[in-house]
Structure formats: C-alpha cells, structure tokens
Structure 1
Amino acid sequence: MPAEIRLVPCLSDNYAVLVHDPATDATAVVDAPDAAAIIAAADAAGWTLTQVLVTHHHADHVQGIPALKARYGVTVVGPRKEADAIPGLDAVVEDGDPVAVGGLVGRVLETPGHTLGHVVYLFEDERLLFSGDTLFSLGCGRAFECEPAVLWHSLLRLRALPADLSIYCGHEYTAANARFAVSVDPDNRDLRAFAARVEEARAAGQPTVPSLLADEMAANPFLRADDPELAARLGLAGAEPAAVFTELRARKNDFRG
C-alpha cells in the first residue's frame, strides 16, 4: 500500500508533513513547527503520531516537539551533529542510516549548509524527499552555519537523485523565490512556465509544495550554478560553480523584488 501524505501549514510560512503507512498505521511528522496544527491534521486524518523526523535544530522546526511527545509519546529522530539542540531527541541518525515509518523504509542524507548538521529524509521507493531547509522550490536555504560552497555540494548531492522525486520542503517561499530566479535567469523558458504555475497556485490559495526534482533541475538557479550560461549572466563566465553559487546566494540575501 502506498504512503499517504498530508502537508500541514504551520506558523506564517512553515510546512510540516505527515507520512502515514496504511499497512501498519505508523505515522511520522517531518519537523514540528506547530504542535496544534499537526495534531489537528492528524486528528482529521484519523492518524496517531508515532515519530517525529527532524531535519535541523532551528526553533521553527522543533518547537512543537514537547507537546507532541506529551500527547503521543512519539519517538523523536534527528541528526547526531545537532543532538544537543533538539528537544526530546530519542534517536540520532547520520548519513546513510535507515529510517522506517512502519513498513516505509527510507534513508538519511547529510546536507550541511543551512545548518552544520542538517539532514534530509529520502524514501526512494515512495519517490519522496523531505528536504527541510536545504532545498526549497525554486530556491535553497541561507548558509547560516557553513560557507556557501558547503551548501552547494549538498545541493549537488540532491540533484543527483532520481528526477521523479516529489520534494517536500520546509517553507512556502516559492513565489518570492520565483521572482528572484527570473531576475537572474530571465530567458529560461522552464523557469517562466514554473513561475506562472506558482503564481496561479498562490492566487488560488493553493500550496506550491511538493515540486518535482526534474522541474527544480530545469528551473531552480541554485541547482544550476555550474551552467555556463547562468554564470555568464551573472558576470562570472569561467568561474568555479561554487563561486557562482556563492554569488547567487548573496544576491538572494539582498533581493527585495
């Protein structure tokens, strides 16, 4: 039986994601920004939470853990490198470790950059990637705890995954990301089409998550820092991809469009 997924809007622009295995009734939530919203979504689906899968230690991804633990007695799984900063952590994981939600078996990929110990959760059989704040739709996270080049290499790792993965990221940033992407890559037809779909979805009050990795590879400038044409548009013809990525990230940090 296939996994069942519920996207849970939290706070102003966060997402949590419920992952349910109907064969065993196990249910995990990826990140815990807002316990009340997660509990309401689980109740509406008739599911009982069994696990929290944490991508990184930032408060808007972990602050709901204590209430979820009190309500359900969930097992909290998170990155070993951030264990001291995650409340209620029961099990630590590192690169390559398996993680199971009932009969759904995924694995952990370490993707440092946004934070030093950030991880993502890949369920390849289900064609699901829970990317936290490493990869956003048409964007990526800020490099808070590492040099931008570290984040670039993490994104390269995600880009090498199967193109038909559905990407569930941690925030609804896509409309703003699209405006920036078009500003640096205005002639990209795939990007223009993607941006139009985003505008339509947001006008209708619909989420832009998940997206397909294939679409991100074609349109997301942060996955294309090794594209010579994009480098040339930035005035960086011949530069190393990590330098192009660093410039893209700096421009996005300052973008007000």
Structure 2
Amino acid sequence: MQIFHVPCLQDNYSYLIIDESSGDAAAVDPVEPDKVIGAAEQHGAQIKLVLTTHHHWDHAGGNEKIKQLVPGIKVYGGSLDKVKGCTDTVDNGDNLALGVNLNILALHTPCHTKGHISYYVTDKEGGNPAVFTGDTLFIAGCGRFFEGTAEQMHQSLCVTLASLPKPTQIYCGHEYTVKNLEFALTVEPDNEKIHQKLSWARRQVQAGLPTIPSTIEEELETNPFMRVDNPEIQEKVGCQTAIEVLREIRKMKDHWKG
C-alpha cells in the first residue's frame, strides 16, 4: 500500500491510496479532482473509486467532476441524498476491495456529521494499516459537533477509532495540527509528549511538510479528546465522566482564541 497526500484548497488534504500490485487507486475526498488525477498519473496508478468521508463541500465537492473525468468511477459515501455525487452507500462494517491486496472497512464515526464514515485500510501483505478519518479525528483534535452529541463523538473517538491497532496510521482531512497541539497544552500543560510533538509539528510546517500521518498510539498519548478518561484532565475541567469532559473541552476549543 502506498499513500500520497494531495494538498487542496487552503488546508485540506485529499489522499491517494494505491495497491502497488495492481496499480489500482482510491481517492479520499478529492475536492480538487484535477490534482488527485494528476497525482495518480504521476505514480502510474488508475483511480477506481472515491471514498467520501462526509457531505461537507470541502470534502464531497469534487465528486461530480471526478465522475465526469473518470467515467464509470464508483463514489462511496454514507448517504446517497446528502453526499454529492455518491453512487454507492457504505455503512458501518461494510468491506470494499481495492486491487488485489487492499481491504477497506467502513466505520461509522458520527458527530461532526450524522453519516460520517472513516475508512480503515489493511494490506494482505502485512503493512501497517491506515485509517482516513475526515473531520472526526484530527491530529491532536476532533471535529466540531455540527450534527451530533458528545456521546456520539466519544463512541467514534474513544471506542471505534481507539480500538484500532496502535500502529494504525491516521490520515485526517485538514492541516490543523499545530493549533490543536497548542490547545492541547492548555488542557495538559505538563504533558511532555505534547510539547515534543508541537515542536516537531512546527518544524514540519515551517519546512512546508505535512504533520500527517499520526498513529492511534500517538493520539492516545497527546490528543485531549481521546484522553478524556484521564483523572487529571477530569479534575482540570471539573467533570466527573469521560463524556462530560469531552463535551466541556470541545466547548473550550470552540471559544479558544489561540
């Protein structure tokens, strides 16, 4: 499995997932289809399907155009009605094949939007798995609760995604890492791993390089939204349960002026 970042718009990422054995590729949230198709051509791959994480325009807005540019392409998403250009719906637990070696498992991860899907990709040859989390899980952060509740986000982050193997690489929809880590330090000022990752992320951005991927293991160490069962965080924000903490720190982040 090869994965390539395709920077789009102001701070979005689309991704190209390639099965090296066949040259078949999947495009994740190809909001600027010309860029994604160009990347596929550069790597000698053919895009066979689109994986849409959710219906917001900066993720699904290129689907109709890529259908024109790649006749017959399948466009997967959580809703035929809401996801622009969607040809095939996926629900939690559905499996898709890419090429000869890759399996894609759809995971329903609602809250940012009701039908949000994350895509967990594994390689029969045993390479590290990857998960494409759209706007549910960011590096050191999570999406706003536009269509859901803290209970849903807790299930999505701390149950569904946190249960994936720790080496799983996380590819999210936006380059928000530096700001997210700066906020994380307001929640856990003494967390040395956050300090270290923030220094690294700043260097990456200054060099014009992505801060993505992270891993499930790193997020469990540095992402406050996945650490809501930590007694020190609960005490800091004055909440008794993990879901209350998640609700409270999302409110804090919404109003944070960092």
Superposition deviation, residue 41 in structure 1: 1.7
Distance 1:101 1:232 in 2: 46
Instruction: Give the alignment partner of residue 208 of structure 1, picking from 211, 224, 239.
Output: 211
2:251 paired residue number? 250
1:129 paired residue number? 131
Equivalent residues of 2:30, 2:36 under 8 A apart = yes
Distance 1:204 1:88 in 2: 36
**Deviation digits for residues 39-77 of structure 1, max 9, x if unmatched?**
222222222211101111111001111111111122101
The ranges of structure 1 where at least 4 consecutive aligned residues each deviate by more than 3 angstroms after the TM superposition are: none
SS of alignment partner, residue 116 of structure 1: coil
Equivalent residues of 2:80, 2:87 under 8 A apart = no
Instruction: Give the alignment partner of residue 90 of structure 1, picking from 87, 90, 112.
Output: 87
**Deviation digits for residues 171-191 of structure 1, max 9, x if unmatched?**
000011011011111001111
Equivalent residues of 2:107, 2:117 under 8 A apart = yes
**Alignment RMSD, CA only?**
1.1
1:142 paired residue number? 144
SS of alignment partner, residue 59 of structure 2: helix
Structure 1, unaligned stretches of length 5 or more? none
1:69 paired residue number? 67
Does residue 1:240 correspond to 2:241, yes or no?
yes
Distance 2:130 2:149 in 1: 28
Distance 1:115 1:173 in 2: 19
Question: Which residue identity is paired with 1:253?
Answer: D
Distance 2:163 2:86 in 1: 30
Distance 1:221 1:9 in 2: 26
Question: Which residue identity is paired with 1:222?
Answer: F
2:178 paired residue number? 175
**Deviation digits for residues 140-164 of structure 1, max 9, x if unmatched?**
1111001122111110121111100
Superposition deviation, residue 211 in structure 1: 0.7
Does residue 1:221 correspond to 2:202, yes or no?
no
Q: How many residues align?
A: 251
Question: Which residue identity is paired with 2:89?
Answer: V
Equivalent residues of 2:23, 2:44 under 8 A apart = no
Does residue 1:117 correspond to 2:115, yes or no?
yes
Question: Which residue identity is paired with 1:9?
Answer: P
1:107 paired residue number? 105
Superposition deviation, residue 231 in structure 1: 1.1
1:21 paired residue number? 19
TM-score, normalization by structure 2? 0.94
Alignment of structure 1 residues 21-40 onto 2, 5 Å:
21-40=19-38
Distance 1:252 1:100 in 2: 38
2:197 paired residue number? 194
Identical columns (%): 39
Distance 1:33 1:119 in 2: 16
Superposition deviation, residue 38 in structure 1: 1.4
Structure 2, unaligned stretches of length 5 or more? none
Equivalent residues of 1:133, 1:169 under 8 A apart = yes
2:9 paired residue number? 11
Distance 1:106 1:71 in 2: 23
